[in-house]
Amino acid sequence: MAIQTPSFELGSPLVQPTAASASRGYWQSVARRLRRDPVTLICAGTLILIVAASLAAPWLGLADPYKTSMIRRLLPLGSPNYLLGTDELGRDMLARLIYGGRLSLFMGVTPVVCALLIGGLLGITAGFLGGRVNMLIMRVMDVFYAFPSVLLAISLSGAMGAGTENTLLSLTLVFIPPVCRVSESVTTQVRGFDFVDAARASGAGTLTIVRVHVLGNVLGPILVYATSLISVAIILAAGLSFLGLGVKPPEPEWGLMLNTLRQAIYVNPVLAALPGVMIFITSICFNLMSDGLRAAMDVKA
């Protein structure tokens, strides 16, 4: 399957010499390269649109996403007043899809952000300190790695019970180990460079060295890796809701909508597939954006 945490190819965190004439910082040249990448720009635009629409949903003049109607159930796409039809309880699909972006995106992004903070901290610590600290942290991560990520998420959520908080918690736990592993490996690599030795030889404290010499070189690759996890997290979060383990009805959420609309596949199949289209679009955009970011940051390319 699938929802695996993507494999990570470590690009060199170091800029290779290029024939730049004007003096330009690393992030400036990354931004310049991104501006010239139409695919990444389109994906970023699409994502901004989805996020903005879901945030601004109450002010878009949409129908009430919770209002049910027994007589207007499963209206097809293009019905008058119901552009995208209605769901199995007669609720407006357009409103629910747009409102659904709120929870679906939140459930996908939040665990990655939390995992980025915790896993990144653990990984950088393990990578920089090495030795026994590294051993301890990475062996604990190995335990989590002994589970396929979907299994871990489902088992944890299943034991804790359905609900938004529990889902966020179990997804965070699932994403800490991969973030930690990547952070550890980039940090170990950076620590091996002579400039870190030179900084140590200058008598600077560990925290100063990490702040000035390590963070700037590892944050980029770690962030790129984290953006590639968001797509996985959104699918996984939707999957949990689809199984009934995540968001509880009647909240609009793409995975949950996909689940409740399954009974409609014989009546109105296109409608039943709609929420998945949203998940698909979002996930594809995050993936392409992550690729673009990686390419822009790998100066060798």
Looking only at residues 96 through 155 of this chain, which bind another protein when binding is defined by CB under 8 A?
A: 139-140, 142-144, 146-152, 154-155
Beta carbon of residue 135, minimum distance to another protein (angstroms, whole number): 11
Q: Taking CB under 8 A as the rule, which mask of x and - marks residues 279-298 in contact with another protein?
A: xx--xx--xx----------
- Rounded to an integer, what distance in angstroms lies between the CA atom of residue 214 and that of residue 122? 14
Does 73 help bind another protein (rule: CB under 8 A)? no
Q: Closer CB to another protein, residue 90 or residue 163?
A: 163
The yes or no reply on residue 300 touching another protein (CB under 8 A) is no
In the complex, least distance from residue 80 CB atom to another protein, rounded to whole angstroms:
25
Residues 6+ apart with CB under 8 A from 89: 68, 69, 73, 250
Does residue 55 bind another protein (CB under 8 A)?
no
> By C-alpha distance, which of 181, 125, 178 is closest to 152?
178
CB 278 within 8 A of CB 290: no
Judged by CB under 8 A, the stretch of 21-29, 58-66, 71-79, 117-125 that binds another protein is: 21-29
Which residues inside 173-192 make contact with another protein, applying CB under 8 A? none
Q: How far is the CB of 72 from another protein (least distance, A)?
A: 22
* 10-18, 45-53, 92-100, 106-114 -> range binding another protein (CB under 8 A): 10-18
Q: Between 250 and 269, name the residue whose CB sits nearer to another protein.
A: 269
CB of 228 to another protein, least distance (A): 9
Window contacting another protein (CB under 8 A); options: 79-87, 124-132, 177-185, 269-277: 269-277
* Closer residue to another protein, CB minimum distance, 38 or 161: 161
Binding test (CB under 8 A) with another protein, winner from 131, 165, 266, 300: 266
Nearer to another protein, 98 or 237 (CB): 237
**By CB under 8 A, how many residues form the interface with another protein?**
76
Of residues 228 through 257, those in contact with another protein by CB under 8 A are 231, 235, 238-239, 242-245, 255
Site for another protein (CB under 8 A): which residue of 171, 258, 289, 296?
258
Choices 51-59, 62-70, 79-87, 203-211; region in contact with another protein by CB under 8 A:
203-211
Chain CA centroid to CA 200, Å = 36
Going from the C-alpha of 107 to that of each of 140, 247, 255, the distances in angstroms are 25, 9, 11
